Structure 1
Amino acid sequence: MPKISPELLSILRCPVTGASLIQDGEELVAAVADESGVKPRYTIEDGIPLLLPPELLAAATAAGSAQHDPAAGTPA
């Protein structure tokens, strides 16, 4: 499990609520709930926190896989 350093955690903020983040296993969790009463959660991949709101994460993941695959844009 990647451990985020306390120094980094002290400056990171939730992009949805602006609250500080707490590491919970392989995720970061906002210290404060959003308008719907849910504390946003963010995954950590290869030691890097993915601080995108959930509605943007799916779109970024889909777009990123096509943009970063050199073979995806070349004709066969």
Structure 2
Amino acid sequence: MDHRLLEIIACPVCHGKLIFDKENSELICKIDHLAYPVRDNIPVLLENETRELSLEEEK
């Protein structure tokens, strides 16, 4: 994931910063506890494509 892209994209729900999880190929919003998938190096920032983070993942 290009670090310049991470600087300009935001969570569509809260407009907060997203963190790239390389291992799971997801963008994480710590505020809303949501994970957005990254498919073929393209972030999928749709609410219906998210998954909620488990308590273990939030740490």
* TM-score with structure 2 setting the length: 0.71
Q: What one-letter code is carried by the residue in structure 1 that aligns with 2:14?
A: T
> How far is 1:31 from its partner?
3.4
Paired positions, count: 47
- Structure 2: tracts of 5 or more residues without a match: 50-59
Larger radius of gyration: 1
Q: Which residue of 2 aligns with 1:19?
A: 16
Q: Does the 8 Å CA contact 1:28/1:41 hold for their aligned counterparts?
A: yes
Runs of 4+ off more than 3 Å: none
Q: Does the 8 Å CA contact 1:15/1:51 hold for their aligned counterparts?
A: yes
When the two chains are superposed, the root-mean-square deviation of aligned CA atoms in Å is 1.1
Q: Which residue of 1 aligns with 2:39?
A: 45
User: Any residues of structure 2 matched to 1:1-76 within 5 Å, and which?
Assistant: 4-25=1-22, 26-33=25-32, 39-54=33-48, 57=49
Higher RCO structure (Cα 8 Å, ≥6 apart): 2
Give aligned-pair identity as a percent: 36
Q: What one-letter code is carried by the residue in structure 2 that aligns with 1:5?
A: D
Kindly indicate which of the two structures has a greater share of residues assigned to strand: 2
**For the residues of structure 1 that align with 2:4 and 2:30, how far apart are their CA atoms?**
17
* TM-score with structure 1 setting the length: 0.57
